[in-house]
Amino acid sequence: MTAWALTWEVKANDRYYHWQFKEKVFLCCQRKRYKTNIIHTAKYNVFTFLPLNLYEQFHRVSNLYFLLIIILQGIPEISTLPWFTLFAPLVCLLIIRAARDLVDDIGRHRSDTAVNNRPCQILVGKRFLWKKWKDLCVGDVVCLQKDSIVPADMLLLASTEPSSLCYVETADVDGETNLKFRQALAVTHHELNNTRKMATFQGKVVCEKPNSRMHNFVGSLEWKGKKYPLDSGNILLRGCKIRNTDACYGLVIYAGFDTKIMKNCGKIHLKRTKLDHLVNRLVIMIFLFLLLVSMGLALGFRYKIKEFRTKHYYISSNYKRTDTMESFFTFWGFLILLSVMVPMALFIIAEFIYLGNSIFINWDTQMYYAPLDTPAKARSTSLNDQLGQVEYIFSDKTGTLTQNIMTFKKCCINGHIYGPDNEDTLPKVNPYLWNEFADGKLLFHNKELLSAVRAKKDKVVQEFWRLLALCHTVMVREQNNQLLYQAASPDEEALVTAARNFGYVFLSRTQDTITVVELGQERVYEVLAMMDFNSVRKRMSVLVRNPEGSICLYTKGADMVLFQRLSKRDVTETATEEALAAFAEQTLRTLCLAYKEVDKDAYEAWSLRHQEANLLLQNRAQALHQLYEEMEQNLQLLGATAIEDRLQDGVPDTIRCLKNGNIKVWVLTGDKLETAVNIGFACQLLSEDMIILEEKEIVHMLEGYWDSNNSLQNGKGRFLQQVQTAMVITGDFLDQLMIPSSKDKSKTLHENVLAEKAWQEPNQQQEASPTWRLPQMWRSFVEQLGGMRETLRLRGAKPHESPEVRRERAFVDLAVHCQAVICCRVTPKQKALIVTLIRKHQGVVTLAIGDGANDVNMIKTADIGVGLVGQEGMQAVQNSDYVLAQFCFLQRLLLVHGRWSYMRVCKFLRYFIYKTLASMMAQIWFAFYSGFTAQPLYEGWFLALFNLLYSTLPVLYIGLFEQDVSAKKSLQMPELYIAGQKEELFNYWVFFQALAHGMATSLINFFVTLVACHDNGGPFSFSDYQSFGVILALSGLLSVTMEVILIIKYWTILTVLAILLSLSCYAIITCASQSLWLFKTSPRTFPFLYADRNVLSQPFALLVILLNVSLNTVSVLAFRIIYQIVKKPRPKVEEVPSEEIMVEPIQYLQRESRARRSSYAFSHREGYANLITQGTIMRRARDTNSELLNDDQPPSEDEIPPSFRDPTWHPRRLSFLPVSLSEGQAIILEDLETAVAIHLAKESLRQKGDRTKTRHPTITY
């Protein structure tokens, strides 16, 4: 508690109280301590756009380089080219990029405006008025209606539900789909029961300062001289949605950027691609090269000028400067002249290429989703090439991989499996028309089962559906003559809905009864006891007395739990077990159902002891647990249910295809561990032959990194490649891994992991920790993982790294060797942390994809962020770089558009560098024959327009339309994607190849022309300066044109048009610039009068041009053919292990399907059993007055169960997968404290360093 001092004070209905507080920002600058509810996620505003955007643009080295050259061109003494030849293109480039950034930011401004202007009801004076979210302030009292989104972090004061319960959906905050409840304090529930009392409410909340901890809140309410403790069970977080609650009232505690969801959102980062960074480094290299060349040529000029002045002393009066000064000016003249080696046109054309490829993404009909009328959209136009280099995908689960829909898929009754009928046999008429209560949304139809139900002859079938209608904690309400079910989880609702359609309709419940309509007959069952799910029991039971007076126990739960409690093993159990295995293979979520008839005398004796146990003040939970265990014996198996957590279309195929492309998919979710693992199997991210590393094993393995003394060999790390591994961790584990110091790291992790086995169910043998009783193969596996530390050190680990960095590096290295990683119960900030760790230690391109506000931070942090248009709002879309409607479209986005964009940009860069050097390197060779005077070789207009017009269209075609293989083959051969990950198409080696190729072309053109023109005179000679330059210009232009013809693989009519139009531009503009009219107008600007016409009229000149082009083309073709002949396919070298590893059979490591086929029972939250049995949740008749809530007296402190006071879920580290089948299933038990001792338990756990608190109503199993 000391780490988080309670210094935040909020006074209800008093805005002036908060306005008076200021906080220091910088030096004497201050700002208001309590923020408004206005949010701004945009980067710019009217005043900051120009300076901030220019600041970002001049972070590019190329822009700084061009600015330097423009400044030099403005100095007449050293300028060799007009200053506007670079200034105009640079301004054009800056405007294009600024416009792109402005469009992106306008979208963010619109999003912010839409959010800030959402309506809400704020208490002003003595009534609630409709205002906007941006008008909210800390201390305001707000009224929220059903299906409203919570505008700020608020303390729940009251609601229209019984006991001021409020049901919320938090999918947009933490990714969980199940319905949660929050509850107001008893004092505010009873006191604040009308608007007048809320207007006079003067309570003060004292709590922790704003922070990013989503699942924690500590504070107190001070009112009327008393203090009332507050926790996160009393808090409504911004972004939650009010469900099944007509109205609720809250006090704003944190607003705007102080809210927990905004604290987790992160900041907008300037994203730049790998190629962009590489081009920046190449610009620096080229600039340094030009400096050295210019310096060398200037030294040559210094030598030549001495010789010139000696021989031609009679004109030396024209050179009044010293030799050193002349050389100095010549150096800058050469630097300006050779600046065309980094052409501005490259960056301008690149912007159009990026824009064009983004438009192609928007136009792709294969990524259009008709049900939502949503096409793919590229919100960023500068990251397309990086889509072809992704190595890691970080995906949310809820709404991204799944549809948030639970469907009743199959069932097994008395050993017989009932699945959905084939499409051919489906009835044309709704088969449930006979049932007035049937839900038309249920898609499960089975004619045979429906006939058996309506025949009323099979008792097992009747009891099966009766159990589903009775054994649950679902609440029901009627709206528009329709039954609406309100469940703690979507699984429960799916099961009750299935029973409803088959004629066993859950109609209503009271504190002591359940009313069910069974095939048209209404029956009322008396509830004698309700035994809810929890993480220890993994089952739920209800003890009822039917209208005939018989007492029955109905139980549902995990198969491994129920099978141990059956009266006898028979054929039904064997058949059911086979059915469960089949369901698990189909990744369905299963439950087993059983029942028994209870003797009345036995029940009376048990009931007395049950009442006594309920009155205990100590060890109440253990006593009740033993009584439940005693009752839940000698059961008769009824069957099993199978629920499908429906995936989005094509998810398994997409993940399989991405994995074939060497892309690793990690799932980061706020949902429960078991649910996430089950989805991992469903989408084929996990497989049966994988070794699933859990937290206990990970702890033991990482100790090899922390404690080993470098005695193992590097080769042993190869074991990782010999097995398929996956990692499953929780957010709590990630926190403990990163936070503690290295000295107590091992101890802390082991204490937290082993603390989970504090106690087990009665009569169950205590198992030794699998961390210490590993089979031989595990020991070999762990030891060889330890041997990887040397590999780490070789790969970049520094000897003086901090313990935190070493821990990060060890964890990341272990994780990246796994074929799949699933992180569950992680906060938005932890999602971003995982992405940051991979980027930091692996240096790879990462992509994050999600659909909710809890994914925004991850999307912003990754190199590429993809937002899915889903059910969780539009915040992920508004902060993303690309927008998709379905996860399966990611396959086409990366493997087709991403790979094409990367290939096109790489080929564009290589060819542009080649063609620039092929033409402009001749300037350097010409300097050796012009006295190093920085005399331009070419006509000025050719220099200015060569990269802008004369060779632009073919290279633009390459950047927009080039394809090496079709889209269909790209999807069929995902292995082609690996070239982008390895940066094979453009790197330093490719750059130097282009450099050498361009230099060779320029050498051939220059010296062949020089030899042909040497000592050639006469009226038809072309050895003059202008003719020589024209021949070189034409030779260079035609040589690069032939090269583009050779490298283009995808030929269309556009290819021919691009080449012809480029050559036509040269012919037309050259003819105009060398005309007599322009020469007379400005001889200095247009000095090459009829130069091209004179040269082209000479056959010998044409022959020289043809010879240059032929030599360049033939030499390149010969080199490439020889290279292909010499190049041999790389032989596959089989790695031989350095030593044999004797291992036990693999079954000791594999997790069998039995361990996960009851994942619903493991992951199911505790329902509303306590609320039901104590009547808290039951709706009572209201008084006919103006009060908002009923006036029931609040229960005393002793009467309030701990589940009411602290209902927030806190993650537990648990192992639901067995180490081996022979050791049995590992069941982790959780200490359940009584209401009186709950504060002592919290203090004890806090002293041990375990942040998990004993809170029950929303515990995960």
Of 734, 748, 740, 720, nearest to 836 by C-alpha is 734
3-state secondary structure 922-986: HHHHHHCCCCCCCCCCCCHHHHHHHHHHHCHHHHHHHHHHCCCCCHHHHHHCHHHHHHHHCCCCC
Kindly name the residue from 140, 396, 671, 813 that is annotated as catalytic: 396
What Rg, from alpha-carbon coordinates, does the chain have? 38
Residue type at position 414: N
Q: Where are the beta strands (DSSP E) in 77-132?
A: 119-124, 127-132
Buried b / exposed e along 501-524 (16+ C-beta atoms within 10 A): bbbbbbbbbeeeebbbbbeeeebe
Of 829, 824, 797, nearest to 811 by C-alpha is 797
Q: What share of the chain is helix, strand, coil (3-state, %, to 5)?
A: 50, 15, 35
Give the C-alpha separation, 865 to 882, whole Å: 7
Give the C-alpha separation, 1159 to 1157, whole Å: 6
DSSP code per residue over 161-200: SGGGEEEEE-HHHH---S-EEEE--HHHHHH--SHHHHHT
Give the C-alpha separation, 754 to 1213, whole Å: 10
3-state secondary structure 1090-1137: CHHHHHHCCHHHHHHHHHHHHHHHHHHHHHHHHHHHHCCCCCCCCCCC
Of 992, 977, 1011, 801, nearest to 897 by C-alpha is 977
Of 92, 82, 94, 142, nearest to 118 by C-alpha is 142
Any catalytic annotation for residue 424?
Answer: no
Give the C-alpha separation, 730 to 1008, whole Å: 70
| Token representation of residue 326 | 């002349």
Check the CA dihedral 1171-1174-1176-1178 and report its sign: positive
Q: Do the Cβ atoms of 205 and 251 come closer than 8 Å? A: yes
Give the C-alpha separation, 246 to 244, whole Å: 7
Give the C-alpha separation, 496 to 735, whole Å: 38
Of 1057, 1005, 993, 1079, nearest to 1036 by C-alpha is 1005
Report the largest interatomic distance among the alpha carbons of the chain, rounded to a whole angstrom: 135
Give the C-alpha separation, 491 to 405, whole Å: 9
Q: Do the Cβ atoms of 1166 and 621 come closer than 8 Å? A: no
Beta bridge partners of 124: 127
Give the C-alpha separation, 572 to 413, whole Å: 9
At a CB cut-off of 8 Å and minimum separation 6, what does 923 contact?
337, 338, 936, 937, 938
Tokens 């821990």 belong to which residue?
807
Residue 755: strand, helix, or coil: coil
- Give the H or E element holding residue 516: strand 513-518
What residue spans of 1127-1176 are helical by DSSP H?
Answer: 1159-1163, 1169-1173
* Residues classed as catalytic: 396
